[in-house]
Amino acid sequence: MTTNMRSKNTILNPPSKKHLGEQFTRAEVQLANRNSGCLLESLRHDVTPIGQHYLLSHFDVPHVESESDWSLSVCGLVGSPLDLSMQQLKDLPQVCREVTLECAGNGRQFSDPRWPSMPWGVEAVSTARWRGTRLCDVLEQTKPDSSVVEWVFSGADRGVDGGQLHFFERSLTAADAMSPDVMLVWEINDQPLPPQHGFPLRLVVPGWYGMASVKWLRRIEAIDHAFEGYQQVSTYQYRKSDQDPGVPISTIKIKSLMAPPGYPDWSTRNRLLEAGPVELTGRAWCGGGVAVHSVEVGIDENWFPALLHPANNQHAWNRWTFTWDAEPGQHLLRCRATDVEGNTQPLQAEWDRGGFGNNSVHQVNVWVETGLA
Amino acid sequence: MTTNMRSKNTILNPPSKKHLGEQFTRAEVQLANRNSGCLLESLRHDVTPIGQHYLLSHFDVPHVESESDWSLSVCGLVGSPLDLSMQQLKDLPQVCREVTLECAGNGRQFSDPRWPSMPWGVEAVSTARWRGTRLCDVLEQTKPDSSVVEWVFSGADRGVDGGQLHFFERSLTAADAMSPDVMLVWEINDQPLPPQHGFPLRLVVPGWYGMASVKWLRRIEAIDHAFEGYQQVSTYQYRKSDQDPGVPISTIKIKSLMAPPGYPDWSTRNRLLEAGPVELTGRAWCGGGVAVHSVEVGIDENWFPALLHPANNQHAWNRWTFTWDAEPGQHLLRCRATDVEGNTQPLQAEWDRGGFGNNSVHQVNVWVETGLA
């Protein structure tokens, strides 16, 4: 009993002011205040409620009074350049899809040494219902030249990174841009995009990490070479060292999360749970058109197969469930997904210089006892 | 020129990994990822867009499938206890008001030593349009006993703080609860409350720091003594030392913020600005029924009066504007509000043990140069 109480205090008490543990900078905390993850309990929703979708904005959210002032220019190596109003875009055939997006830097907080940037824990993932039109239909209307190698997508957001003032710009190869999956989007969860999600128009690239889904989209340009903008080549690269030229970040790796059971401790976010049967649940997802094959749940050192529920569509996450008979004491709960190509989440992901693509298994510390009700 | 370039680098370059500056714990960063401030550029909106309103949830957001399962119980020392469905509440006379709310812990990040809790910078303030009904009308229907001293408001959110498992509960005195300002609310910005803002029912107490506006409101109980729940007496108290019994936190102090001009640096959030005239703008607010009297803008060491625009109603913030002729080089911009009772924001607020009620002036570092366009 004494041992148990000591363990409970370890799990549920706030950290002492004398033992600060790993340390983060004020600049990182500023970014964490500004950008926001989903709430893990929202994993119970198929579609993340409005205002809970994770959000990362590099620069300021542009102030756009009305969509009637907005137009999308499609230009460059095309036979018929376009300048489309929002109404013209909305008159095109519409598509509506649930898409899971994840920030490429999700999990950066756990890399050591850690690149100074947004110190995401595990929460930079969400699923929204996006409405818009297919990008490929618009691009084809412009009669692109056969020399087109990439399409460059420019947002209205502008700022400094690495000492360079630039608009947020990303590219896709001609083949990737012409995928029927890629959308020009003006609605999230059946309402107009709020300013911070890209009002009035954004790109959504299903299966890719979030940086590809350019917000506040103003211009698409066809070019005959590989784009070398800051957000394409200076960041969003997997690197093993400072000297590594890098491998471009693209599609989302296999990953899963758990909606933590029981009650949270305010400060540690560890959990207090009533003993007895409890349904554990969470989500699993994978990008690049690769489906989730299975999810296992870890209870301390043992792994058990979870029930994997079908996704609402091919771009949305799967729900998983597992019934656990919780016994009193301290437990470590984990979940681990495997994709249909046989890739399984690592217990600890390989170190990456920018803290990108971290798909380590999610861990939840729980204290179980009886008589809570 | 060399000097200027060195200064620019100081303002706009990311912090060195070798000079971490003040340090924050992983538990604080976890809270900063989970809770979210407004985006300072959203200060340009009278009403903070949906999903940008600041958010602090002590425990998990309760999972409520439908409002048809919800009822509000009003009980305790009353002649006619009530059990009201959402429909019964909506059938009462409705009120719709823009209300500015601020978290009592806003600015905690700047207190030294710092209490380990949510490390807010300046962004934990927002204005929403709330729709609901007057609390006093509901309370009066219950025929409260003359012995009633306080009303206790209980949310459905439950968790551990300070080692105690409890529902989030706060009280108001009989007089404060009967103020016609206090609302029972089911809509924000003309849509149903999202889960994280208290779906399906919450309290909104205009003029008070946010802890009074209990979310997921299930029960209101009339009692004949002062409520001593954890969230009432163990926290949300101004304290000068560990031994200080504390002064309860109530209404919002005079404060102002600036929407930072120009372009942000991703990592420091310092600003790059084109030389020449620029309209500085921001918001000022004060609780407790006390109006804002004036706002001054600080340009380096000099203070100038800003133009104060009328608020949309008595519970909402004021806009202020000031035209500045920005000259090249480094500048410190500040804003400072004064209320009609003569209280002015301090340059640095007095230290508080919990980091509460920090209304220090907002500071923005800017680098101005020509030829950015």
Is residue A220 scored above 80 in pLDDT?
yes
Is A194 close to B51, i.e. CB distance below 8 A?
Answer: yes
How would you classify the pairing of strands A362-369 and A271-274? Answer: parallel
Q: Which residues of A touch B41 (CB under 8 A)?
A: 60-61, 63
Q: Tell me what pLDDT residue A14 has.
A: 53
Residue identified by tokens 């340390």 is A23
Structure-block tokens of residue A344? 């399984």
Residue of B nearest to A166 (CA): B263
Out of 3.40.50.880, 1.10.220.70, 3.20.20.410, 3.90.420.10, select the CATH number for domain B28-248: 3.90.420.10
Q: Which residues of A283-300 are buried (b: 16+ CB within 10 A; e: fewer)?
A: bbbbbeebebbbbbbbbe
Percent of chain B exceeding pLDDT 70 equals 95
- Topology agreement, domain A2-21+252-369 and domain A28-248: no
CB distance B141 to B184 below 8 Å: no
Closest of A365, A359, A362 to residue A269, by C-alpha: A365
Is B34 close to A37, i.e. CB distance below 8 A?
Answer: yes
Q: With bands split at pLDDT 50, 70 and 90, how would you rate the model's confidence at A21?
A: very low
Q: Which residues of B touch A39 (CB under 8 A)?
A: 34, 57, 60-61, 196
Residue A144 bridge partners (DSSP): A78
Is B266 close to A372, i.e. CB distance below 8 A?
Answer: no
Is residue B14 scored above 90 in pLDDT?
no
Mind listing the pLDDT tens digit for each residue in B232-241? 999 999 999 9
Mind listing the pLDDT tens digit for each residue in B264-291? 999 899 999 999 999 999 999 999 999 9
Q: Which residues of A178-208 are buried (b: 16+ CB within 10 A; e: fewer)?
A: bbebbbbbbbbbeeebbbbbbbbbbbbbbbb
Q: What does each C-alpha distance from A141 to A86, A89, A133 come to in angstroms? A: 16, 12, 13
Residue of B nearest to A157 (CA): B263
Residue of B nearest to A13 (CA): B163
Q: What does each C-alpha distance from A74 to A188, A200, B23 come to in angstroms? A: 23, 16, 46
Mind listing the pLDDT tens digit for each residue in B68-81? 999 999 999 999 99
Instruction: State the count of interchain CB pairs (< 8 A) between A and B.
Output: 217
ipTM score of complex: 0.94
Which of A23, A61, A197 shows the shortest C-beta gap to B24?
Answer: A23
Q: What does each C-alpha distance from B320 to A63, B278, B306, B337, B363 come to in angstroms? A: 17, 14, 6, 10, 16
Q: Tell me what pLDDT residue B116 has.
A: 86
Is residue B213 scored above 60 in pLDDT?
yes
Mind listing the pLDDT tens digit for each residue in A145-195? 999 999 999 999 999 998 899 999 999 999 999 999 999 999 999 999 999
Mind listing the pLDDT tens digit for each residue in B130-141? 999 999 999 999
Q: What is the mean pLDDT of chain A?
A: 94
Q: What is the DSSP letter of A360?
A: P
From first CA to last CA, the distance across chain A in angstroms is 20
Structure-block tokens of residue A239? 């690197």
Is B59 close to A372, i.e. CB distance below 8 A?
Answer: no
**Could you say which architecture CATH assigns to the domain A2-21+252-369?**
Sandwich (2.60)
- Sorted by sequence, the CB contacts under 8 Å of residue B92 that are 6+ apart come out as B133, B134, B137, B138
Closest of B40, B1, B268, B366 to residue A162, by C-alpha: B268
Is B27 close to A60, i.e. CB distance below 8 A?
Answer: no
Largest CA distance in chain A: 78
Q: How far apart are CA A128 and CA A101, in angstroms?
A: 8
User: Mean pLDDT across the stretch B105-110?
Assistant: 96
Is B120 close to A165, i.e. CB distance below 8 A?
Answer: no
- The yes/no answer on whether domain B2-24+252-369 falls in CATH 1.10.260.40 is no
Q: How far apart are CA B351 and CA B348, in angstroms?
A: 9
Q: Which residues of B touch A28 (CB under 8 A)?
A: 24, 29
pTM: 0.95
Is residue B37 scored above 50 in pLDDT?
yes
Is B191 close to A194, i.e. CB distance below 8 A?
Answer: no
**Best residue in B17, B160, B199 for a mutation probing chain A (most A CBs within 10 Å):** B160
**Best residue in B23, B267, B365, B367 for a mutation probing chain A (most A CBs within 10 Å):** B267
Chain A nearest C-alpha distance from B176 (Å): 28
**Best residue in B18, B38, B55, B60 for a mutation probing chain A (most A CBs within 10 Å):** B60
| Domain-wise residue ranges, chain A | 2-21+252-369, 28-248
Which of A159, A260, A266 shows the shortest C-beta gap to B161?
Answer: A266
